[in-house]
Amino acid sequence: MRWLAQQHKAILVIRLFMVAVFVMCGSVKLAGGQFYG
């Protein structure tokens, strides 16, 4: 049971990290910082 709890925490951390990356990339794209030229 202990392994399952640690696995769920690891998955949660990975999901939060991916959400942060996607939000950052999306906000940069909406602000016009990407594909500028």
In the numeric block, which tokens belong to residue 37? 């030229």
Output the pLDDT for position 23: 96
| pLDDT value for 36 | 61
Cα–Cα dist 1/16, whole Å: 23
- Would you tell me how many other CB atoms lie within 10 Å of the CB of residue 34? 10
Q: What is the per-residue burial (b if ≥16 Cβ within 10 Å, else e) of 16-29? A: eeeeeeeeeeeeee
| pLDDT of amino acid 1 | 65
pLDDT score, position 22: 96
| pLDDT tens column, 1-37 | 687 889 999 999 999 999 999 999 999 888 877 666 5
pLDDT (0 to 100) of residue 20 = 97
Predicted pLDDT at 32: 78
